[in-house]
Amino acid sequence: MIEYPKGHEPDFWSPTLEVQSHRFALGNTARASAGDPPLIAICMNPSYAMSSEADKTVNRLIQASIDNGHPGWVMLNLYPERATNSAHLTAYDAELSAANCAAIERVLRQYRVSEVLGAWGQLRHRTLRRAKKDVLDLLERLGVGLFTFDGLTASSDPRHPMPRGKPLLMTGDQRFLNWTDHRLTEVVP
């Protein structure tokens, strides 16, 4: 069992923990506010991390929130269907994706954030690639910027926090991304 770092266990999840098929949000927000928001990341799709059991990706996000001085963390996803291996996702469900986008919007508005960390890695499954468009369109509509610390993959996606090998550092200068013609590119200062 992988444990959460002490004091950073989740105190926020949507929907309730009893729902096993999907998760819109997971986080620790007790110390966060609209004036001092948590680190909010959009990852690929949720695994089976629960209130008492973490996973490596969630713990890497928690460490990034600590390293970057955030009072908490929230993990959102491109698509809310739970699967440890994205190859096991079902076909894209427009209603589920819309509900996911509504949940993302609630979190972004609650904390009045102007930027979120993109952290999903290369998207091999068709469902994830389709859901990415929904989420990026939402961010554009809300005027919320997308950034990464570690550049883009060969497929122009922000890197996953736990790629094969060693975890990303996830600190330093933020690299902001543009969403044009259904492709992410880094903004050159």
pLDDT, tens digit, 9 for 90 and up, residues 65-115: 999 999 999 999 999 999 988 889 999 999 999 999 999 999 999 999 999
Is residue 6 in some structural domain?
no
C-alpha 121/C-alpha 115 separation (Å) is 18
pLDDT, position 172? 83
C-alpha 168/C-alpha 176 separation (Å) is 17
What is the domain range of residue 145?
12-186
The β-bridge relationship of strands 39-43 and 73-77 is parallel
Output the furthest CA–CA distance in the chain (Å, rounded): 45
* All residues at 6 or more sequence positions from 167 whose CB lies less than 8 Å from its CB, including other chains: 56, 60, 161
pLDDT, position 97? 98
Is residue 66 in some structural domain?
yes
Helix (H) or strand (E) holding 41, with range, is strand 39-43
Question: Are residues 139 and 146 in contact, defined by beta-carbon separation less than 8 angstroms?
Answer: yes
* All residues at 6 or more sequence positions from 185 whose CB lies less than 8 Å from its CB, including other chains: 152, 156, 177, 178
Residues of the chain with pLDDT under 50: none
Tokens 């090998």 belong to which residue? 165
What domain count does the chain have?
A: 1
Is residue 161 in some structural domain?
yes
pLDDT, position 85? 87
Is residue 109 in some structural domain?
yes
Judged by phi (left if over 0) then psi (alpha if -120 to 50, else beta), residue 181 lies in: left
C-alpha 90/C-alpha 72 separation (Å) is 31
Identity of the residue numbered 75: M
Is residue 84 in some structural domain?
yes
Tokens 């009045």 belong to which residue? 112
Is residue 24 in some structural domain?
yes
Identity of the residue numbered 25: A
pLDDT, position 77? 97
pTM of the model: 0.93
Is residue 5 in some structural domain?
no
Query: What 3-state class would DSSP assign to 79?
Result: coil
C-alpha 21/C-alpha 46 separation (Å) is 10
Is residue 4 in some structural domain?
no
